[in-house]
Amino acid sequence: MAQGSIDRRLFLAGAAGLAVGGATLAACGGNGSKGQESSASTSSAVNSSASVSSEASPSSIKNSQSVTPAYVPYAGVKPDTPAGAHGIPAGFYHYPANPPSFTSGVPGSGGSVSCMMEGGGTTVAKSKNRWWQALNKALGVDLDLRVVPFTDYLNKFQVDVAGSLPTDLIQFVMVPQTPQVLENEFADLTPYLSGDNIKAYPGLASIPTASWQISTINGRIWGIPESRPAAGTVCAFRGDSLAKIGIKDNPPQLSNGQDFLDLCKELTDKKSSRYAIGEQPNIYVLNAALEMVGAPNGWEVQDGAFTSVYETDEMKQALDLTTQMWQAGYIHPDSFITPGKDFTWWSGGTITLYFTAFGDWQFQATAQPTWDIGAVALPKWGGGGPAAKVLGQAGYVYPMAFKKTSDSKIKELLQICDYLNAPFGTKEYLLVNWGVENVDYTLSEQGDPVRTKTGTSELIDGLEYVGTQEYVNLYVPGNKALVDMERAYLETALPNGVADPSWGLYSETAVTKGVTATQNVQNATSDIIQGRRKLAEWDSVVTSWRNLAGDAMRGEYEKAYAAQH
């Protein structure tokens, strides 16, 4: 983790998680910020681990039993802290000395391989980019990367799918009639990757099992996932900012919800234009409140019956608490108007707490070592220990799919993806994630790579979405304390974390009417928090959501859930 430049996009926590009970947060802005929600934001059902009901896709019900790829962790290097249960990653204090080679030979056979993904683009063109040229040589192909800004990606993807797919590899997004789109346009990778078949590609075989759920649709594998810890959102803080106002606890110890409010009050000084939080209140602050009051993660299921978080008493409680925080002035007054400035405010010390992806904690700790970044464990609102963590999926929600092509071409593309998934600790990993030694990075006395100015400008943006293992392990160059801190955080968060039971299910309504229905709910939460509507109106908001899409989504989930169980 944390090898990229400050412009690298990071996963918004809980990609199919809460997001006010159901909006998929798929977008991540530049400059280390989470940015605003992408136009691809959809219902929580729209996750890449869909299992299609018979009504949703009568043409693709064959092979409905998923065959998960075998998991073969790379044994060529020894971690300082081994991987643990519940998806806890291995940890490294330094990059292994004398990195071994992971591959032999060249995976490609010449020619060009094209790939479309999200990103901000690479500053230095391929013709002058030594990193890109070295990677092309190692792969044995001319890698043609077509990087699209995340705000435009959904539209671009839909245009390409409606026409003729222009690239060999393409980051897949859920759209209406997803099962049919996959059947018609994309290669089924199940024969190549299911079970022990994946062992022909040891880099791909070292991707943790949980991540494959993201690209497994209707029991078949349709892409390569980019693996990430399923830790959801962390409440990050700047230790240097805490110290300036006299808070010595690092991290602050919170016993209950009132402690959290007291901390927010202590961090707020309106006369000095300082606030506890600056992120969009009806997304990030509300989600934190939902977590503390013990709300479901999007949906909950009991005896096969689905209930949305919208329909729970916890939703009303969390909405009321968020409204109180807004009225008390603990949240930046421009957080609704200009939510994209939240990272700028955090960088400048205007806000102290920052709800962000687990990976961003590690990323920013590397990019800004003087900030002394840590994470606050949110408590149960009434006390009694840490709140049950709302989990995200174990990877980025858009997997890398393959255009339909010949068997030999698919195998070559898999070999290229296998190289790009070179495990941490290898020579190939350094090339893929850090570039050319003594050009894009140098090695410290401890053997850790250090990004150069050239490496920052030559960084190949978007390459991580081909499934690189940048986020698979805990590693902050030379920062043992942070690796241990993150390990301790995950040991608490992951074992008792709450997943969304709609993961692994597909709802056609969710990707059609559900988009508008969810946006209507988000508009209503915004109005209630800002005092334009009353909390007493919430039941009518939920009724409208149910009538427009919610009840249909529920029915589709329940039918698919029953088929799986």
Residue-wise pLDDT for 180-209, tens only, equals: 899 999 999 999 999 999 999 999 999 999
Q: Are 480 and 448 in contact (CB under 8 A)?
A: no
Read off the pTM: 0.82
What residues does each domain of the chain span? 48-230+395-493
CA distance 118 to 403: 17
Six token digits for residue 127: 């013709």
CATH number, domain 48-230+395-493, options 3.40.120.10, 3.40.50.12500, 3.40.50.300, 3.40.190.10:
3.40.190.10
pLDDT at site 26: 33
Q: Residue 280 is which amino acid?
A: Q
From 22, 16, 124, select the one nearest 522 (Cα to Cα). 22
Q: Are 498 and 391 in contact (CB under 8 A)?
A: yes
Helix (H, G, I), strand (E, B) or coil at 421: coil
CA torsion 464-469-473-475 (nearest 10°) is -60
Residue ranges with strand state E in 441-553: 441-443, 449-451, 474-475
State the first-to-last Cα distance of the chain, in angstroms, to the nearest integer. 36
Q: How many CA atoms lie within 13 A of 319 on its CB side?
A: 30
Helix (H, G, I), strand (E, B) or coil at 437: strand
CB-based contacts of 565: which residues, under 8 Å, 6+ apart?
304
Q: Are 291 and 389 in contact (CB under 8 A)?
A: yes
How confident is the chain (565 residues) per 10-residue block, as mean pLDDT? 32 35 35 34 34 33 62 95 92 95 93 93 93 97 93 92 91 90 95 97 95 87 92 91 87 94 95 95 96 96 97 98 98 93 93 90 84 92 94 90 97 97 96 97 94 94 87 88 91 91 88 95 98 97 98 96 87
CA distance 439 to 299: 49
pLDDT at site 369: 84
Q: Residue 79 is which amino acid?
A: P
pLDDT at site 357: 87
Helices 313-328 + 286-293 axis angle, to 10: 130
pLDDT at site 5: 30
pLDDT at site 478: 83
Q: Residue 470 is which amino acid?
A: E
Looking at residue 68, what DSSP letter applies?
Answer: P
Cα angle vertex 563, ends 560, 565, to 5°?
110
pLDDT at site 66: 60
Across 357-371, b (16+ Cβ under 10 Å) vs e yields: bbbbbbbbbbbbeeb
CA distance 213 to 169: 19
